[in-house]
Amino acid sequence: MSLTASKKALNLTTGIFTELANRKQDVLNKGMDVIDLSVGSPDLPPPSFVVETLVKYAKDTSKYGYTLKGSKEFHEAVSYFYKHRYAVHLDPDGEVLQLMGSQDGLAHLATAIIDPGEYVLVPDPGYPIYEASVTLAGGIIYPMPLLAENKFLPKLDQIPSEILKKTRMMIISYPGNPVTALADQKFFQEVVEFAKLHNILVVHDFAYSELIFDENPQSSFMSIPGAKDIGIEFNSLSKTFNMAGCRIGYVVGNAQALNILASLKSHIDYGIFYPIQKAAEVALTSDFAHLQKQVKEYEFRRNTLIAGLEQSGWHIPKSPATMFVWAKIPDGWVSREFAFELIEQAGVAVVPGDAFGKQGEGYVRMALVQPPERLAEAAERIQHFLLKAK
């Protein structure tokens, strides 16, 4: 028997993280140490009370069956979190939907909402699942360039009217990944008005909502008047509470959109392990002291890496948010060449910017997922690499 992938699957871009992992293994096999700044998986532990809750409920052998959906208590916990962190009121019964991580919901949303041939406005550069989900649903991607000269905000007035007539959905993310920019309430208000005018569902990816630095304001898209009429917002416990492997997240906002996604999801999975739901509830209703401490840790890591790179003459603006640094590479390189040479010669793994879209060429993404001393060492290795390359 000979099998080939479907045309939709073949249209997906090659997974850069697989290629980086293979190159990393090749370097390790040669006996070189690798400092991995590629995958954005938190190295910090969850709060102790989260772990204790997970262990407590995991000992109850009656809780190992299907949960089918999010518990009432989990939905209420999300509502509590949004009220106390973002001053947003959510109806836990209709405006909150539990997910197996925000990526799970983003991966299935396009299939639930759009028909083949309809357009989706997608940020470029953007998180890869945005494009992949639209491709698998048979939709057409219209990239919205995120450029430094525009503060990495899309120019909505530059999207052609003939595209907007066929557009069903747009995806935005602030603070973003890989671009670490923030959006202000003025931009969000512009998005709400734009979406209402063109009858477009707005999808805001808010996975880095609690990693905002330097006392910058924290704004949920749901806090904008009218946002619930046209939009939904994805969030996760992966980065906020370091529960990435637990695979639990949620989406909030427009009840009709959530109901459509929930209907599709009912054919795909059977809910999240009950002890994980209980651990998430405790995290979302905690006193949030953990969040303040964690932000300071990531700020310190960011400052350590950027200060080290400054010594090599690589001047990078400070990321205002997220666990990443989005860095314009030195002149004379292209993104993949730079990333691959860096891991092979210096033992530092970063992600080439073009893996996130055409506009990512000329950049690399570095994840702050190592202790400060390892980040300082990474900066020193990069410094030697750049001096050697001159």
Specify the CATH number for the domain of residue 348.
3.90.1150.10
Measured CA to CA in angstroms, residue 318 lies from 95, 101, 248, 293, 325 at distances of: 35, 28, 30, 19, 8
SS3 at position 2: coil
Query: Is 52 within a domain?
Result: no
Question: Which residue positions in the chain have pLDDT lower than 70?
Answer: 13-14, 390
Q: pLDDT value at position 17?
A: 78
Q: Compute φ and ψ for 193, nearest 5 degrees.
A: -65, -40
Answer yes or no: are the C-beta atoms of 294 and 182 closer than 8 Å: no
Residue 54 lies in a domain: no
* Co-location of 172 and 36 in the same domain: no
Residues 224 and 373 in one domain: no
Same domain, residue pair 233 and 108: yes
The answer to whether residue 245 is domain-embedded is: yes
Q: Which amino acid is at 121?
A: L
Question: What is the distance between the alpha carbons of residues 363 and 257, in angstroms, rounded to a whole number?
Answer: 35
Residue 50 lies in a domain: no
Same domain, 172 and 230: yes
Those residues with Cβ within 8 angstroms of residue 57's Cβ, 6 or more apart along the chain or in another chain:
63, 274, 275, 278, 279
Co-location of 211 and 356 in the same domain: no
Nearest alpha-carbon partner for 223 in 238, 233, 208, 212: 233
CATH code (residue 221): 3.40.640.10
pLDDT score recorded for residue 387 = 87
Exposed, middle or buried: residue 269 (CB in 10 Å: 0-12, 13-18, 19+)? middle
Domain boundary, last residue among 256, 284, 312: 284
Are 22 and 67 members of one domain?
no
- The pLDDT score that the predictor gives to residue 14 is 62
Which residues sit opposite 123 in a β-bridge?
Answer: 144
230 alpha-carbon distance from chain centroid: 21
User: Domain check: are 272 and 348 in the same one?
Assistant: no
Task: Quote the tokens at residue 16.
Answer: 């850069």
Last-in-domain residue among 218, 251, 284: 284
The answer to whether residues 21 and 119 belong to one domain is: no
30/83 same-domain check: no
The answer to whether residue 204 sits within a structural domain is yes
- For tokens 């009709």, what's the residue? 256
Residues 158 and 30 in one domain: no
| Domain assignment present for 180 | yes
| Per-residue confidence (pLDDT) for residue 305, from 0 to 100 | 97
Residue 185 falls inside a structural domain: yes
Number of domains forming the structure of the chain: 2
Domain boundary among 251, 266, 284: 284
SS3 349: strand
| Model pLDDT, residue 12 | 78
- Bridge partners (DSSP) listed for residue 365: 326, 351
| Alpha-helix residue ranges (DSSP H) falling in the chain | 7-10, 16-29, 48-58, 72-86, 102-113, 128-137, 161-164, 185-198, 227-230, 255-265, 274-284, 289-310, 335-346, 372-389
Note down the domain range covering 321: 7-45+289-389
Together in a domain, 253 and 117: yes
How high is the pLDDT of residue 174? 98
pLDDT, position 165: 97
Q: Are residues 260 and 300 in the same domain?
A: no
Pairing of strands 35-36, 348-349: parallel
Q: Is 51 part of any domain? A: no
